[in-house]
Amino acid sequence: MAEKSSKQAPRVATGDRAILPEGASTIPVYVMGKKYEVPESLTIMKAMEFVGFKFIRGAGCRGGICGACPTVYRKAGDYKIYFGLACQTVVEPDMFLAQIPFYPANRAKFDMETIEPTAEAIHALYPELFRCVACNSCTKACPMDVDVLGYISAMKQGNIAKAAEISFDCIQCGLCASRCMGELPQYHIGQLARRVYARYIQPKADHLRKRVEEINSGKYDKMLEDLVAMSKEELEKHYTEREREPDLASPGEWKPQDTQYL
């Protein structure tokens, strides 16, 4: 190991991500074909930023929720293509990285106000459903471990509720569609199933209907007016002194003493 030069700049906490903490280990990765050394603990997104890339597209929540950062990568000596979310996947030595900020799959046009809540209506909007050959490439590509083939099969069988449930964790990144030899836009189909199910099929929540009626009847208007009229100090006092549910209360058992707004 080379001895430290006496002229080496001292490591200081500047907030600059390009200055490594003392003793940090780095690994080689390839971004768009060029080799870089990056700290081994970074996600793909942070590693790309570390070497100078700036995300103005293809990044959103940075928390694995929005689906904006689908990534494909390869590993040295391995012909397989791997998939992940750039904000969640930690770099490995000799990864070959690329970014797919957006996957342009066809999306059917429909009007949620007039669509028939039937499987036939969804089949008519997405007839390519029946080009699925059940190869399961979509499921293998999913960074959220959604059973994509499972919900596509449910939709082919006409089971909107099952398709909505299985696809619930989809974050619309589009990697499933990028791998489909039948050219299905799976993530759009799953989203339509969930929307149709939620709007027309799922049993309505009685307590929600009651609460909406109360809001529309003006039950909370006075309370809101009082809140809006409060000063910042009054609001803070009101907030910190509010009646709180105990942390260990059993679900459904606790009720506030003031029940006027229940």
Give the binding site for ligand FES (CB under 6 A).
Answer: 59-62, 64-69, 85, 87
CB of 59 to ligand FES, least distance (A): 5
CA 15 to chain centroid, in Å, comes to 28
| CA dist., res. 19 & res. 31, Å (int) | 19
Residue with tokens 């959604």: 146
**Smallest distance, ligand FES to C-beta of residue 60, A:** 4
Q: Which is nearer to ligand FES, 51 or 66 (CB)?
A: 66
Report the C-alpha gap between 152 and 163 in whole angstroms: 7
Q: Which is nearer to ligand FES, 103 or 110 (CB)?
A: 103
Question: Closer to ligand FES at the Cβ: 20 or 66?
Answer: 66
Residue with smaller CB distance to ligand FES, 55 or 110? 55
Instruction: For residue 27, give every residue at least 6 positions away whose Cβ sits within 8 Å of its Cβ, in sequence order, or none.
Output: 37, 38, 39, 40, 91, 92, 93, 94
Q: Return the residue nearest ligand FES (CB atom).
A: 87
Q: Provide the minimum distance between the beta carbon of 85 and ligand FES in the complex, in angstroms, as a whole number.
A: 5
Give the closest residue to 197 by CA, choosing from 235, 233, 159: 159
CB of residue 173 to ligand FES, shortest distance in Å: 7
86 and 99 Cβ atoms separated by less than 8 Å: yes
